[in-house]
Amino acid sequence: MSMIALGADHGGYELKEAVKKHLDEIGVPYKDFGCFSTESVDYPDMAEPACRAVVAGECDKALLFCGTGVGISIAANKIHGIRACCCSDYFSAKYTRMHNDANALCLGGRVVGAGLAIELVDVFLNTEYEGGRHAKRVAKIAALEEKG
């Protein structure tokens, strides 16, 4: 099983811990880039190392958490090669893998409960990218990145 990068701010810390417990139970290895308490921190500081680990190939995907999931997704999407999806519904978590080849899932600790978060994590980690007609769209995302 490939390595997962974890990152959270204080708003996502508790949900990260709940997801970690789940990953332990199902035997999925992870690297935790913090934070490590509910003390207030800035989500870009955890988004960056977790996403760099993905881009460097040390981790396969990132699971990121903040209060809404939105701030950390915006930060994550600034990292070259990251396609981060903030979502709280099953369909989006599945189809962002199939259609967007998303490599980071962002969840809001103040939005979703642990039960739903675990379902979203499982479908995100277990769904393959479809490629095909989606490949040229994903390539155009990369081209946008190059344009800056």
Selecting among 51, 59, 66, 86, the annotated active-site residue is 66
In sequence order, which residues have a C-beta less than 8 Å from that of residue 15 and are 6 or more positions away? 8, 65, 107, 108, 109, 112, 114, 117
Q: Both tokens of residue 148?
A: 């800056």
Minimum Å gap between C-beta 45 and ligand RB5 is 12
Single residue of 4, 5, 6, 9 touching ligand RB5 by CB under 6 A: 9
Site string for ligand RB5, 17-46 (x = CB under 6 A): --------------------------x---
For 95-129, letters b (16+ CB in 10 Å) and e give: bbbebbbbbbbbbbbebbebeebbebbebbbeeeb
How many residues does the structure list for the chain? 148
Please work out the total of residues on this chain that contact ligand RB5, with binding judged by CB under 6 A: 8
Of residues 23 and 47, the one with the C-beta less far from ligand RB5: 47
Taking the alpha carbons of 18, 68, 117, 32 in that order, is the dihedral positive or negative? negative
Minimum Å gap between C-beta 2 and ligand RB5 is 27
| Residues 52-71 within binding reach of ligand RB5 (CB under 6 A) | 66-68, 70-71
Taking the alpha carbons of 102, 126, 132, 96 in that order, is the dihedral positive or negative? negative
Is 99 in the active site?
yes
Closest residue to bound ligand RB5 by CB: 71
Name the residues annotated as catalytic.
66, 99
Q: Which residues bind ligand RB5 (CB under 6 A)?
A: 9, 11, 43, 66-68, 70-71
